[in-house]
Amino acid sequence: MINGLFAKFGAFFLQDRGSRLTFSFHNCLSILLLSSVGATALVWGIKELKWLEASELRIYDQMLLSRPQEPVDARILLVTITQEDLTREKWPLSDQTINKLVQKLASYHPRVIGLNVYSHQQQNLAANLQNQIIGTCLLSNIGRLEVPPSSDFPLENIGFDDVVTDNYTDQAIRRGLLFSDSTDKDSQCKTQFSFAALLAINYLEKQGISYNFTKNQELQIGKILFPRLDKNAGGYQDIDADGYQILLNYRHPNHLARQVTLTEVLTDQVNPNWVQDRLVIIGTTATSVHPGFYTPYSSLSDQPARIPRIFIHAQIASQILTTVLDGKPLMYYWPDWAELLWIWSCSLVGAVLAWQWRHPLMLLLVEGLIFAGVVGITAGFYLQAIWIPLFAPALGLVFSGFAVMGYTNYQTQKQNQTILLKVEEQEDAIAQLSLLLEQTTELPSDFNDFKFKETSIFKTDDLLLAGRFKISKSLAAGGFGCTYLAEDTQRQGNPICVVKQLMPARRDPKFLQVARRLFNTEAEILAILGKHPQIPELFASFEENQEFYLVQEYILGNTLSEELTPEKGAKTEAYVVNILKEILEILVFIHQQRVIHRDIKPSNIIRCSENNKLVLIDFGAVKLIQPQIDEETELATVAIGTRGYSPPEQFAGHPRLSSDIYALGMIGIQAITGTPPQEFPLHPETCNIMWRQITNVSNELAAILDQMVCYNFSDRYQSATAVLQDLKSLVKE
């Protein structure tokens, strides 16, 4: 039964590095895709609820206000009826005053005159000039009666005065209404042209440029197509897009067109050249007549909160003229599918960033930089007159980042809980194994029979461990085990891996049961620790013939013991600090899992030839299943460690996290002095090693090393992080 369970457990771990990496890649890809798609769906749902519309419109306004200012449109002249004019003239203006104004302007030969003024008398209005002037009327609306046009004007010279406001948000005008879809048959305002559109069309027709509607019922003037506004254009969501609307590409109000007042025209203070061949628009700016409308420019301190109606019509007419005659781009926007792809792209970037930088502050900084890039992209599109959402993709960036961070934190906590449980199981197995080992002080009578002999097991080339790993070379042998290089025959290219064989010290069922439990828990711990790039990855763990096998990543390189030989002498402080920092960073990771390495020494540290990084190998509570008979290893039944590197509490069978710090400190002292740690004398009172007298070292580094190797574990550094902080401050100094 136990063997059956072990077989299932072993099958889980019997995965080659390629499949593990493939699984990791697909797992990572799945997480990134799911989080980015989920964030996109969430943002799109919020967008559908119109919760983002106000924010997107505010961003639109800011983009509009930040654009370079255009020159004044020289084709248009505005004749304004100001509040000061109305101190001399009564409102509404009499037909006599209007006729005098129009006749005066007509004498200067304008191309088109637009009269955005209502007169209740309407008796012989604009006498003899009705065919040259565009009049206006007002359609009926909720809570408002229509205003009929003057009966003196033909229908083709009438345009409706209505404008479109963003009622759902701030009542501002961001859209221009060119045509109405239909009119009430009982309405007196029967025109389908807006006042501004009719002005521009008449102006262009007199220049030989006509308009028509395409098969899709879209307006085309000359060669320029004016697409009908979609109800989900840009940051809008399900707006009332009735009629023929376009996005307004505003000019700055201070640079819209030349302005003259009613009084200036009537008193001949106007240069005729300002009027000749121009589009002249007449309208009131007096707030006592109409308070005006909100626009994106209403937020500017140098602009009035509301802009008179005449300026709105002038903006629309100017936009049509400059688009047709000067090639100024219309405000464009992406279709829904492109916006969805844009939001998903930003969400995917946020997910990738959160996966790469999992520290909240670092993630916040990096996402801030990416957000600045998104703003730059949006602004760049806007300068090309393309309105794309900014707030929605920014939310996608944040939401996906939080989703991935939440998932990784959950997985980390879950992994920490798993490994803590395994560590507890490991300690329990160690206690039971120690008890069994203490029951006998002699090696088993069949020691010579069970002692590992390389040729007795792997004497043929046909034998494959687990039907897969082909032994190619012995790396080390001793006691009841051996370390081999092997080929993985089930992976492309037959890559090399390391096989560690562990033969238990005893073969009685009780001992084997505890040994198996210790082996399995340690294999699970190594599988998790192997995710660190400077710890060998565990490829497989299995049992054959009551012997245990670990298959790990092969690290090509040289051990640190080859660098720290007496012949090579003492190393520099910079060298010592570098190896301490690199190993400490690994210890921070394993100690966070509450795992103790138990046997840190130069021969268990490999400098990888591929990237020159130090790799920590040979973790080891599982060594307890073997008798410790190596000459350099302490002859203790319940302890793992090496003389000179392991602290006293570890040899007493009570290792702590600071025990690893002690061992690393001894490596640092060995490197700075060039002397093996076994040769250092002990202080007669404190039992701390005495080493400073044989080398020249800075007091700061010496103090750190001394605290790392204190005899009493309570006097040592209690965490690898604390040592790292002191070393980093030392480097800064």
Catalytic center residues: 599
Q: 585-599 burial, b if ≥16 CB within 10 A, otherwise e?
A: ebbebbbebebbbbb
With both helix axes pointing from N to C terminus, report the angle between 360-383 and 53-65 in degrees, rounded to the nearest 10.
60
CA–centroid distance for 701 within its chain: 40
> Alpha-carbon dihedral of residues 691, 697, 703, 704, nearest 10 degrees?
-100
Residues forming a β-bridge with 550:
500, 541
CB-based contacts of 90, cutoff 8 Å, min separation 6: none
With both helix axes pointing from N to C terminus, report the angle between 391-438 and 360-383 in degrees, rounded to the nearest 10.
160
CB-based contacts of 436, cutoff 8 Å, min separation 6: 506, 510, 511, 514
DSSP state of 88: T
Beta strands in 249-324 (DSSP E): 258-261, 279-284
Element (H, E) at 370: helix 360-383
329 upstream amide cis, omega within 30 of 0: no
Per the document, the length of the chain is 733
Residue 629 dihedral angles phi and psi, to the nearest 5°: -120, 5
Q: Which residue blocks in 593-719 are alpha helix, DSSP H?
A: 648-651, 657-673, 699-708
Instruction: Quickly list DSSP for 329-359.
Output: PPPEE--HHHHHHHHHHHHHHHHHHHHH--S
CA–centroid distance for 485 within its chain: 42
Instruction: Quickly list DSSP for 563-618.
Output: TS-GGG-PPPHHHHHHHHHHHHHHHHHHHHTT-------GGGEEEETTT--EEE--
Q: The tokens 């080992």 sit on which residue? A: 437
